[in-house]
Structure 1
Amino acid sequence: MDSELSSEVIVVGGGVIGLTTALVLAEGGRRVRVWTRDPVERTTSAVAGALWWPYRIRPVAAAWALRSLDVYEELAADPDRTGVRMVEGVLGEEKLDDGFDWLTARLPGLRPVTAEEYAGTGLWARLPLVDMAVHLPWLRRRFVAAGGVVETRTVSGLAEVEAPVVVNCTGLGARELVADPSVVPVRGQSVVVENPGIRTWVVSTGADGEMAYFFPQPGRLLLGGTAVEDAWSTEPDPAVAEAIVRRCAALRPEIAGARVLGHRVGLRPARDAVRLERELLPSGRVLVHNYGHGGAGVTVAWGCAEEAAGLASP
């Protein structure tokens, strides 16, 4: 096989997992094309809250998350360009003994909250908070600068993807594309409001199990949220939106009067375990799967991308 042809890779999926994987491959010297059904600005990743934290992912995958943390800390040196900032906030209802020993050494500032910071049990942390409206286009530009190509096209089956190496980063789409019924949507709805001056983030779970969070992004505040399994609707529910604002305002009263700028819905691609593995097809082609990251796609994107790139050798 021609060496140039053998180095060609097609990454299917243009969300944060697909773009990051494609970027790592391209900067590693491979000829890479991304096939994405939707422009990156309209992928599920585009509506993510995008706080670095291992949320709704199995297994927790410490190595992937910590590698990604290393990268985000570097990118936070230029937040206007990359969309990554290091921001302090509260992880409500979390304790240091809840399986976070792998984080305490890496995050020396991780500590229990004070009563002034949060009315309840929680952890204070300084974590990467990613503005996906900036970060996804930045990933695409860096990928293109490395020689990559992004093509908007729908894939109905991986057999039609003619390349020596194919990387499947289709998220929820893998349910149909590779007939994997274990991939299920976890519906998340959020509300975007004008920021009334909040600089720290909070993630909280009430006694009724309902979640509330708010993330300050440049020019806006993202309020959430929901996590409804096996719910497929991408239309915002006005009653849910009202409840989200009410729960967030209970944490910070000034949120109650904030002007609403928009509504978002995303379907997190959950699975019993992330699928990151290499498959050799009967034709001799290599198929690498990298999907099922639940609510932690941003959290593990770089660690998974580097492992997937290693599996993608022809």
Structure 2
Amino acid sequence: MHEGTSTTDARGGVTVREVIVVGGGVSGLTTAVVLAERGHRVRVWSREPASATTSAVAGALWWPYRIEPAESVGGWALTTLRGYEELARRPEETGVRLVHGLHRGQRLTALGPWAGRLEQVSQVAEGLRARLPLIDMPAHLRWLERRLGEAGGGVERREVGGFDEALAEASTVVNCTGLGARALVPDGGVRPVRGQLVVVENPGIDEWFTEADPASDATTYFFPQPGGLILGGTAEEDDWSTVPDPRTTERIVARCARVRPEIAGARIIGHRVGLRPARSGGVRIEGEALPGGVRLVHNYGHGGAGVTVALGCAEAVARLLG
């Protein structure tokens, strides 16, 4: 059988496809796991190891942040939330924990209808108190790769110059290339939103905190992770620099220390910069039927919330495949 064909499983009439997922971040790996566990033969092509992707840089608190379209995001996010709540039963294995914290200045009534379905969130004078998934991304990405392997899939290090390369080997290709979609699709609406983080030795903080000003490219947050306390952050549109800026580091530490003064004396142990893959018009989940019976399915443009909608978007892709 040629690799570019689909077959029908005689046991249940299920169409089994050869699928290549291009992109090895959280969206690509989650999509690959969902498809592999539904019986498809899945390979992930990734230019870099998961530990070097933008996903590995993320904070990463579950919360719909800098992502559109609003009418779809809530459903994707809630699906993903339920998945993380299940994974949080095995935090050492999955990298997912449920942690208490505060969204300062946030009002429940200002959010979309999805917020009314949150069970562990309450309105207080300062903002929203919540118990939400906080994901140790390096650990979670490793877990996704293991789970993909257990489902019969695998990850291959491969740089792709065009989707035709993958379509020559599989009947279905899923585009989870994030910022790479700007050149590969090509889609000029894809642009970076730069985020810079600082990692410090945790001085004993066990809750997360966020405060975002929609009118500014500076945000204030800290997340207690196993590798240290992650401080943030920035949201600098159309900035391609991946080099940490020392002045930005100083401002991030100062903002966080105004909330928790003990942060001011914490030793800095690392810097992170990631380019969020934003897109004009928001997330694109769409299938293209191409000549020869092959199919290209897009799943990109997740902005600052790829972690938050990963499972919901993966299941949307699976529904497109049938």
TM above 0.5, one fold?
Answer: yes
Q: What is the rounded CA distance, in whole Å, between the counterparts of 2:307 and 2:48 in structure 1?
A: 18
Q: Kindly indicate whether residue 175 of structure 2 is the aligned counterpart of residue 168 of structure 1.
A: yes
Partner of 1:94: 106
Aligned pair in 2 of structure 1 residues 291, 206: CA closer, same or farther (>3 Å)? Answer: closer
**Pick from 112, 123, 132: which aligns with 1:112?**
123
Q: How does 1:161-310 map to 2 (within 5 A)?
A: 161=166, 162=168, 163-205=170-212, 209=216, 210-271=218-279, 272-310=281-319
Residue 7 of structure 1 and its aligned partner are, at CA, apart by 1.5
Q: Percent identity?
A: 62
Q: What is the rounded CA distance, in whole Å, between the counterparts of 2:90 and 2:251 in structure 1?
A: 35
**Which letter does structure 1 place at the counterpart of 2:244?**
P
Residue 113 of structure 1 and its aligned partner are, at CA, apart by 2.7
> How far does the alpha carbon of each residue in 1:259-281 deviate from its partner, in whole angstroms, 9 at most, with x for none?
11100000000012100011111
Q: What is the rounded CA distance, in whole Å, between the counterparts of 2:180 and 2:135 in structure 1?
A: 24
Q: Specify the SS of the correspondent of 2:56.
A: helix
> How far does the alpha carbon of each residue in 1:103-140 deviate from its partner, in whole angstroms, 9 at most, with x for none?
22x323322234xxxxxx41111110000011000000
Q: What is the rounded CA distance, in whole Å, between the counterparts of 2:124 and 2:250 in structure 1?
A: 28
Q: Specify the SS of the correspondent of 1:233.
A: coil
Larger strand fraction of residues: 2
Q: What is the rounded CA distance, in whole Å, between the counterparts of 1:208 and 1:8 in structure 2?
A: 45
Give the TM-score, by structure 1 length: 0.94
Aligned pair in 2 of structure 1 residues 67, 234: CA closer, same or farther (>3 Å)? Answer: same
Range with greater deviation from structure 2 (91-100 or 68-77): 91-100
Q: How does 1:37-48 map to 2 (within 5 A)?
A: 37-48=47-58
Q: What is the rounded CA distance, in whole Å, between the counterparts of 2:308 and 2:267 in structure 1?
A: 30
Q: What is the rounded CA distance, in whole Å, between the counterparts of 1:187 and 1:109 in structure 2?
A: 30
Q: Specify the SS of the correspondent of 2:82.
A: helix
5+ residue gaps in structure 1? Answer: 115-120
**Which letter does structure 2 place at the counterpart of 1:282?**
P
Give the TM-score, by structure 2 length: 0.92
> How far does the alpha carbon of each residue in 1:161-203 deviate from its partner, in whole angstroms, 9 at most, with x for none?
1210000000000000001000010000000011000011110
Q: What is the rounded CA distance, in whole Å, between the counterparts of 1:137 and 1:160 in structure 2?
A: 26
> How far does the alpha carbon of each residue in 1:199-238 deviate from its partner, in whole angstroms, 9 at most, with x for none?
1111013698331100001141000000000000111111
Aligned pair in 2 of structure 1 residues 312, 206: CA closer, same or farther (>3 Å)? Answer: closer
